[in-house]
Structure 1
Amino acid sequence: MVDVDPPPREAAAAPPATPAMKRSASFDRVPEEARRILHRLAGELWGGDVDPAALAVSQLKGAMTNEVFRITWPGGGEGVGEEGDHRKVLVRIYGQGVEVFFDRADETLSPADLRDPEISSLIAKKLREFHDLDMPGPKNVSLWQRLRRWLEEARGRCSAEEARQFSLEKLGDETAMLDIALSGVDQRVGFCHNDLQYGNIMIYEETRQVTLIDYEYASFNPVAFDIANHFCEMSADYHSATPHVLDFTKYPGTDEQRRFVQTYLSSSGENPSDAEVVHLLGLIAKYSLASHIFWGLWGIISGHVNKNIDFEYKEYARQRFDQYWKTKDQTLGSKSN
């Protein structure tokens, strides 16, 4: 994916549009700087194998605050055409005020979409595919180290009163307890998104293809943590009048969780046993506790550093921590077979 910030005023002009470009109405919505980068990208990756100017543009649905386009080039070797994997990139364009020009409801998934059985099944399959990615570099679990680092950051930024209100003095022991309780369990580690809320999931309507975007928090982690975090995100509606308010009654019930996990485990052609499904469900329940601490700490830190964004970060953090304390005993008392 090519991420493109709003172009500076002095950005170099893009090459003139070709007839192939003009076939796509979306082309004019790609900034000139992005077009220039795409021309260079095509030339560097594929050289004379494709015409760098013969790109086709289509806008994808599902971006919450950005515009996302699929760019393809025709031509190339056998079996590689406009849809060829080696001739396709996604372009995400950051910027403010996008909603002035486009109807947000037509571009994004909604919280309700996550509960749609068909869409949920597609997400489960895509998440399994994502977790199976063979990414370079160390494959160590990052969750516990990140929680400890964020806790120290939160303590350093909070006043004594804030630290007391958020019970920060207890969270070090809580994190260590979860680490010990979960790290010794038989579980699968994979490349995780770690922020699978509805705004980070796109569905290309023509093919029903799911794409996950925004990898700022991606790292290797237990896959149960990624699924738990996705389930927790079903409690949020970031486009409501009060985007920081969470409704944990919307956390998926047992049947909904089981359908998701069953699809996730079977999507690679396996036939999981009921014991495997129950085991993963138990882990997901426990990792939901880690998710609450994760995003609670994120809320505290963000509340101190993001002064110009209209979001009640600290109230959001309070809700995540409250849910941790509310569900901790019952969750840890359940058995993961």
Structure 2
Amino acid sequence: MAVKNGFSEANLPAELIKLLFSLASNWGDIIDFSKLKVDHLSGAMTNEVYRISWPTKVENSTRTVLVRIYGVGVELFFNRDEEIRTFECLSSHGYGPKLLGQFREGRVEEFIHARTLSAADLRDPEISTLIAVKMREFHNLNMPGSKNVILWDRLRNWLNEAKKLCTPEHVKEFNLDKLENEISLLKKAISGKHQEIGFCHNDLQYGNVMINEETRSITLIDYEYASYNPVAYDLANHFCEMAANYHTEKPHILDYNIYPGLDERKAFIRQYLISAGRQPNDTDVEQFADDVEKYTLANHIFWGLWGLISAYVNNIEFDYMEYARQRFAQYWLKKAQILNEK
């Protein structure tokens, strides 16, 4: 078995071993560590994710779980306790995998036997429609806790963290001293009372969407960044992710030449609104599309700051700094055009 980042069946954390034994015992399994299989799953950029499996007493039957090892420095981005509460609440609503257990360095989750989407899948009209319907369903969830928009406070908090971590050279290169004012101006320019607030995933890249090929059902996973936000922001994030492919030799490179065109964005929005029980007219779709496009600006700042902070604190093999450069470059390139500034 190929060992990734020093994590294999030979050096599992002691707490994880204890947890796996406990789970196996509850299921009536006997774990033979000589037959334990550990596979690193690529594409995760906040945590390290592994599939761990072992034979059961039933002939030719295998038990599989997913193990998530928390990334270094992720506490700068979100509160882990709140994320676990969200995870458990969503599980109780029938969303995503079940939480099987926790240990100091991570947690064990139910392994969903479905296919994780590829970058190309996001452009498949049938799959795109399924995602639109599932997003609408997700946004309608009534989650515990505050239902206030978290986007703007989170941007300011991340900006403060970035300023603490960055060298003077990076503060200058990324215009960090200007961003506080940019965030305030952006909030004023793109927020609107007509905009719906819902429970948003906030990280709907293709790796966080799974499909059951038999039932054609969609499952959204990984809720680290989930919170109440304008639903237009969540769609903006999803559209921005269509410029990414995290399974290439240079996974940090974004290609905005393949960012979805207006017709493709409107088709997604129309399906999203129809699934809410509405029959949207052209004006409804155009207004929503305009709101979504404006929120791509906030999205570029969001993930630009994420990349910048991650470059200083995370040791996952990914060029966070270059990723941040691309997101900020896109913000400054598109700002005047999207906000109709002269």
Q: What is aligned with 2:148? A: 140
1:277-296 → structure 2 map (5 Å cutoff): 277-296=285-304
Q: What is aligned with 1:28? A: 63
Go from structure 1 to structure 2 and tell me whether the alpha carbon gap of 1:167 and 1:207 turns closer, same or farther (over 3 Å shift): same
User: Matched residue of 2:215: which SS?
Assistant: coil
- Cα distance in 1 for partners of 2:208, 2:117 equals 9
Please give the per-residue CA displacement for 1:2-45, whole angstroms capped at 9, x wherever unaligned: xxx97633444514259xx87796642348x9xxxxxxxxxxxx
Q: 1:317 aligns with which of 321, 324, 328?
A: 324
Q: 1:199: Cα distance to partner? A: 0.2
Q: What is aligned with 2:97? A: 90
Go from structure 1 to structure 2 and tell me whether the alpha carbon gap of 1:274 and 1:24 turns closer, same or farther (over 3 Å shift): farther
- Cα distance in 2 for partners of 1:89, 1:195 equals 15
RCO higher in 1 or 2 (8 Å CA, sep ≥ 6)?
2
Q: What is aligned with 1:51? A: none
- The answer on whether the counterparts of 2:115 and 2:211 sit within 8 Å (CA) in structure 1 is no
**2:227 is equivalent to residue 192 of structure 1:** no
1:1-337 → structure 2 map (5 Å cutoff): 8-11=16-19, 12-13=21-22, 14-15=25-26, 16-17=28-29, 27-30=62-65, 90-91=97-98, 107-306=115-314, 308-333=315-340
Please give the per-residue CA displacement for 1:248-293, whole angstroms capped at 9, x wherever unaligned: 1111001110110000000122111211111100001100000000
User: Matched residue of 1:202: which SS?
Assistant: strand
- Cα distance in 1 for partners of 2:337, 2:193 equals 19
Higher-Rg structure is 1
Letter in 1 for 2:124: D
- Cα distance in 2 for partners of 1:25, 1:87 equals 29
Go from structure 1 to structure 2 and tell me whether the alpha carbon gap of 1:309 and 1:280 turns closer, same or farther (over 3 Å shift): same
- Cα distance in 2 for partners of 1:116, 1:24 equals 39
Please give the per-residue CA displacement for 1:164-213, whole angstroms capped at 9, x wherever unaligned: 01111111111101111122342100000000000000111111110100
- Cα distance in 1 for partners of 2:152, 2:289 equals 20
RMSD (CA atoms): 2.8
User: Matched residue of 1:210: which SS?
Assistant: strand
Number of residue pairs matched by the alignment: 265
Go from structure 1 to structure 2 and tell me whether the alpha carbon gap of 1:22 and 1:204 turns closer, same or farther (over 3 Å shift): farther
Please give the per-residue CA displacement for 1:121-157, whole angstroms capped at 9, x wherever unaligned: 0000000000011111211000000000000110111
User: Matched residue of 1:252: which SS?
Assistant: coil
Go from structure 1 to structure 2 and tell me whether the alpha carbon gap of 1:170 and 1:24 turns closer, same or farther (over 3 Å shift): farther
- Cα distance in 2 for partners of 1:263, 1:87 equals 23
- The answer on whether the counterparts of 2:95 and 2:220 sit within 8 Å (CA) in structure 1 is no
- Cα distance in 2 for partners of 1:201, 1:165 equals 34
Letter in 1 for 2:129: S
Go from structure 1 to structure 2 and tell me whether the alpha carbon gap of 1:26 and 1:125 turns closer, same or farther (over 3 Å shift): farther
Go from structure 1 to structure 2 and tell me whether the alpha carbon gap of 1:160 and 1:276 turns closer, same or farther (over 3 Å shift): same
User: Matched residue of 1:138: which SS?
Assistant: coil
Go from structure 1 to structure 2 and tell me whether the alpha carbon gap of 1:120 and 1:24 turns closer, same or farther (over 3 Å shift): farther
Go from structure 1 to structure 2 and tell me whether the alpha carbon gap of 1:198 and 1:25 turns closer, same or farther (over 3 Å shift): farther
* TM-score normalised to structure 2 length: 0.72
Go from structure 1 to structure 2 and tell me whether the alpha carbon gap of 1:26 and 1:240 turns closer, same or farther (over 3 Å shift): farther
Identity rate, percent: 55
- The answer on whether the counterparts of 2:115 and 2:212 sit within 8 Å (CA) in structure 1 is no
Q: 1:115: Cα distance to partner? A: 0.1
Structure 1 unaligned residues grouped into runs of 5+: 34-84, 95-105
* TM-score normalised to structure 1 length: 0.73
